[in-house]
Structure 1
Amino acid sequence: MTSTATPRTAIVTGAARGIGAGVAKRLAADGFAVAVLDLDEALCAKVADQLTAEGGRALAVAVDVTSEEAVTAAVERVATELGDPAVLVNNAGIIRDNLLFKMTAGDWDAVLNVHLRGSFLMSRAVQGFMTKAGWGRIVNLSNISALGNRGQANYSAAKAGLQGFTKTLALELGKFGVTVNAIAPGFIETEMTEATAARMGMSFADFREAVVAQIPVNRSGLPADIAHAVSYFASEGAGYVSGQVLYVAGGPAA
């Protein structure tokens, strides 16, 4: 990253496991102080403690990203205890998969609230710090499902919405030195994809084998693959890249 004397602070939501934890570890390795945000502070603490043990600075913060009050309090705590946020990775997400005729309004609202409302609230809460500093990086986690995926009307809509959100924030915040980009993962080995396999009544090994057969690079993705892309967008050198959607999916997006 940069040669500043005081490390810049990065916030990663949904960072207690999976992609979020992988991103938190990579940003810490890049020299950022990292705030690990998720619903369960005990799980956040495990990730934060590991980062600290490896020589980094980290803070575990429990937050419900759909709550305006909770988000405001969490960001204020990060700014006070770790430093003004310079990087935000909106990774928090849930799935409530079902075919449209079986999908409840509650399942629709839950997914849209976490992905879209959560990203909106977090981005709004940090943008003041970034614009004041004249430097910032916001990275939103979309998904290849934004292009459409059977049984995921809520998730697909949320992830497509994040792409429009990304492009709009890039237009609004660019003049303040803040870039906004999105990453759209393909199949990544996480607890969420394991849950998808279980929902389909398949073992994860069989599910992964079936998916990998359709991936040009002939392997599944890992959290580290997404973390590497986040590392680029968060870097000093990516300052001329904004409003982009990068598909990290082992091949071209359909």
Structure 2
Amino acid sequence: MARVAMVNGAARGIGADASVRLAEHGLDIALIGTDEEAHADTVLRIAGAGRRCLFVESDVTDAGSVEAALSRVCAELGAPGVLLNCVGAVGRGPLHELSDEGWAETVGDPLRGVFLTSRAVIEPMIKNGGGRILALADVAGGEPSGPGRDSVVETGLAGFVRTIALELRPFGITANVVAPELSVADLSGSPAGGGSAYAAEVVDTVRFLADEASAAVTGQIIRVAMTA
């Protein structure tokens, strides 16, 4: 039976490309999110790679919704051996103008989504002898008014994966962050369609960390930077 990856944040951009690359590497893909139509192109690309793909509507900031999504994924594709959360930059104006609700949306919600989805997959991963928990932290670009909050999100992701990496290592579960140093808007096209070599390196890093051969790499932030 093929391994299964559950992916949050794959409607477009580098998150979609990473999902397709995992499919090309032989994984079946469960896409979770709130907008099925926005994920339609990603579903088609994964199907074009010859893998099964399931979209499950889910609010990843709601624990009950995440658990329901996981139950459906397990029933229709199998228990996920890979979890990928794609976290993008969200600008909401300067800090002194930011409301409590704005702070929760730009910082609290992304981190809560990573926490809830990670917590949900741990038990099935332990039962199956291991797994890979990944975050694609595409927050380096953002809007000029919001780099501080994006740094908070990336730092929060780093601390989270380092903590759970220590806790989960005895069970064969790794946790890592891939941190591109450009925003999705700066990535020229899809690597699957002849886009930039930089974008391809980002998704190939995700693919490597999702592989069973990456068992020795855990608790890391791996930065992928354009060098030329």
TM-score (norm 2): 0.87
- AA paired with 2:175? V
Q: Which residue of 2 aligns with 1:242?
A: 218
Q: Residue 217 of structure 2: SS of its match in structure 1?
A: coil
Farther-moved stretch of structure 1 (91-100 vs 74-83): 91-100
For the residue of structure 1 that corresponds to 2:184, the secondary structure is coil
The answer for the alignment partner of 1:185 in structure 2 is 180
**1:148-181 C-alpha deviation (Å, 9 max, x unpaired):** x863332221111000001001001000000111
Say whether residues 1:161 and 2:156 are aligned partners. yes
Residue 233 of structure 1 pairs with residue 228 of structure 2 = no
Alignment partner of 1:76 out of 71, 74, 94: 71
Greater Rg, structure 1 or structure 2? 1
- Equivalent residue for 2:99? 104
Give unmatched runs, 5+ long, in structure 2.
189-195
Q: CA-to-partner distance for each residue in 1:171-217, whole Å, 9 max, x for gaps?
A: 01000000111111111433xx69xxxxxxxxx9xxxxxxxxxxxxx
Provide, for residues 50-95 of structure 1, a one-character-per-residue CA deviation record: whole Å limited to 9, x for no partner: 3123311111122211111111111111111111010001114450
Percent pairwise identity: 38
Q: Are residues 176 and 156 of structure 1, via their aligned partners in 2, closer, same or farther at CA, if it must alter by over 3 Å?
A: same
For 2:225 and 2:102, the matched residues in 1 are separated by: 26
CA RMSD after TM alignment? 2.3
1:30 pairs with 2:53? no
Counterpart of 1:225 in structure 2: which amino acid? Answer: E
Counterpart residue type for residue 149 of structure 2: N
CA–CA distance in structure 1, aligned partners of residues 209 and 160 of structure 2: 17
CA contact (8 A) 1:130 1:136 kept: yes
Q: Is the 8 A contact 2:177 2:222 kept in 1?
A: yes
Instruction: Name the counterpart of 1:115.
Output: 110
Q: 8 Å contact 2:30–2:56 — kept in the other structure?
A: yes
TM-score, L = length of structure 1: 0.79
